[in-house]
Chains A and B, each alone.
Chain A
C-alpha cells in the first residue's frame, strides 16, 4: 500500500482516488478468498470423515466403534488401545497378506516400467518395419477393458496350472497398452537431435536410451509408477478369480474376506483398513507436487 501510494505521488496523481479504487477490489479479493476457504473446508470435511472414522475406530476399544458410531464421538478416540492391531495382525494373518501385496505390486510396477518404456521408445524413436502398424494396434488395445478378458484369461490360467501362484497375479499385468502409449507420446516430445548427437558420439541404442532418454523422461516414469502402483495395489476382481487359499492372496481380498470372518469385530476391521491406507497417504503427501507436475507433463490430460 505504501509503495503504491509513493508511486501515485511520484506520478503526481491524487492519492485519494487511488486508494478508493484499490480498496473495494481488495475487499472483494479477501471476501473471495474467505468464501473459497469456507467451501474448501466444508468439502474437506465430507472427504475426510470416512477416513477419520477409520483411523479413530482402529485405536478405540472394539465395542465402542459401533456404539459411538452415530454421533460426533465416532471421530474422537474416547479411550486409546492398540488391542485391535494386535488382534487383526494375528487373526487376519496380516503380515503375510501384506508381503503378498508388496511382492505382487512391486513386480508389476518395476516390470511394467521396463517393458512399457522400452516398447514405447521403440515405437517413438527406433525405426523398424511395421512400426506404424504397431502404434495403431497399441492404441486400439487401450480400449479393451481388463474386465472383458478376466474370464477367458482365468480359463487359460487354469489350463496352464497357474492358479494360486504369484506369477498369475503379476505377468498378465506387466505390459500395458495405456502405459506404453504414455511413454510413446512422451518420447515423441524429446527432440530427435539429442538422440542423433548421442549416436554420432558413438553410443549404441541401449546406451543412448539409458544415458540420454531415461533421465529426460523422469516425469512420465513417475506418473506411470504411481498409476500402476494404485492399480496393482487395489486389484480385487482378479484375485477373487485366481486365488483359492490365503497363501498368495493380496491384502484387498484379505480385507474383503476378513470383514465377514466371525467373530466380526469392527475395531479389528478398522485396524486392517488403516494398515492398508496410511502408508499410501504418507507416501503421497511426500510426492504430491511431483505427481501433479508429472501428470501435467505426461499428456494424460489428452
Chain B
C-alpha cells in the first residue's frame, strides 16, 4: 500500500497535522454549540424582551430586565435563601465529610461496608431521595416526628415542610444527607495520598493526635478541601431538584431558590429575556464566590 519512503513520510506528516484536529473537533464543536453559544446568547437575550412564543416584536430593552429582577422581592427572597443554604451546608457538609473520611480511612474490619453505607444516599438520586424524605417529614405519621416525639416525650413537633420557619432547614438536612458521601470519597482519596512517614515523623517529634490532624492532615488535604468547598458551593447555588419535588418554593417562598425563579420566569411565564438576566446574575454570583474562595485560600498559603 505504501510504495515509497517519501510517500510513507508524506502520509505520516499528513496524519500528524490532521490528527489533532480530528481528535479535538467533536469536543470543540459540541462545546461551542451547547455551552459557549447559549452562554453568549444568555447575555444577549438578557438585554431584550424575548419571549418563547410572542406576537410582540423583538426589541432591545437595555437594562430593563436587570432592573426589574433587582426590584423583585421574590428574587431577594431566593437570594437570601441561597445564601443561608450555602452558609450552613458548605461548612457542615465539608466537616461531616472529613469526619466520615477519617473514620473510614482506618484499618479496621468491615470498614468498607461503612464506606458503602455513607455513599449510598449519593446513589439514591436526589429526585427519588426527595420523594422519600417528603414522607419521612410528614408532621403526623412521618418517622422523623415519631422519633423526635419519642425521645423528647412529645415536646418536639416541628411542621417541617409545612412551616415557613422549618422548611428550608428540612431541605438542608436532606441535602447534606444525600450529598456528603461524594465529598467523603474525594477526601478519602486525598487522605490515602498522604505519605505514611509524615505521620511517623510527627510521632517522633511528639505530636499528639490533634497536632497530627492540624499540621499534617489538613495542610496535605488542602487541594481536596478546596475542590470540595468549591463544588459544594456551586451545587448549593444551583439548588433545584429537592425543592422542586418537596415544596416548589413554598410555603410562602420560604424555600424559593434562584433556579426555581429562573424556571418559573423562563419556562412558566415564557419570558426568555428576563430569565436570561437572572441566569447572568446567577453566573456572576458563582464566579465571584469562586474567585473569593481562591483568593482566601491563597492568602492563607502566603
Contacts and interface: CB of A to CB of B under 8 A. Distances in A.
Contacts of A114: 26
Could you say which interface size class chain A belongs to? Answer: 35 or more
Contact of B34 (A50, A145, A158, A175): A175
Given A154-B266, A296-B193, 11 more contacts: A36-B106, A50-B133, A70-B142, A70-B149, A122-B24, A153-B38, A156-B41, A171-B30, A270-B132, A292-B188, A301-B224
A148 B26 contact: no
A235 B217 CA distance: 35
Contact of B131 (A134, A173, A259): A259
Nearest to B34: A172
A123 interface: yes
B203 interface: no
B123 A284 contact: yes
B202 interface: no
Interface stretch (B60-68, B164-172, B282-290): B282-290
A292 B185 contact: yes
Interface stretch (A5-13, A79-87, A90-98, A236-244): A236-244
Contacts of A146: 238
A302 interface: yes
Contacts of A277: 123-125, 128
Nearest to A116: B27
Nearest to A129: B20
A43 B118 contact: yes
B267 A241 contact: yes
Interface string B88-101: 00000000000010
A44 B24 contact: no
Give the 4 A-B CB pairs with smallest separation, nearest first: A70-B146, A302-B223, A119-B27, A175-B30
A205 B15 contact: yes
Contacts of A252: 125, 127-128, 241
A240 B267 contact: yes
B104 A237 contact: no
The winner among A33, A204, A259 for most chain B CB atoms within 10 A is A259
Interface in B127-169: 127-129, 131-136, 138, 140-143, 145-147, 149-150
B193 A301 contact: yes
A148 B141 contact: no
A3 interface: no
Interface of B: 12, 15-17, 19-21, 23-24, 26-28, 30-31, 34-39, 41-42, 45, 50, 52, 100, 103-104, 106, 108, 111-112, 114-129, 131-136, 138, 140-143, 145-147, 149-150, 177, 181, 185-190, 192-193, 222-224, 226-227, 234, 237-238, 240-241, 244-245, 259, 262-263, 266-267, 272, 275-276, 279-280, 282-283, 286-287, 290
Nearest to B237: A145
A230 B282 contact: no
Interface string A32-66: 01001101100110111111011001000000011
A256 interface: yes
For chain A, what secondary structure do more than half of its interface residues adopt (helix, strand, loop), or is it mixed?
helix
Given A148-B282, A281-B120, A236 B126 contact: yes
A273 to B, nearest CB: 5
Contacts of B136: 50, 53, 69
For chain B, what secondary structure do more than half of its interface residues adopt (helix, strand, loop), or is it mixed?
helix
Interface string A253-284: 10110010000001001100100110011001
Nearest to A300: B186
Given A119-B26, A234-B125, A281-B123, A44 B117 contact: yes
Contacts of B116: 284-285, 288
Contacts of A155: 41, 45, 50, 52, 266, 272
Contacts of B123: 230, 277, 280-281, 284
A148 B237 CA distance: 11
B94 to A, nearest CB: 14
A115 interface: yes
A259 B138 CA distance: 14
B235 to A, nearest CB: 9
A172 B36 CA distance: 11
Contacts of B266: 150-151, 154-155
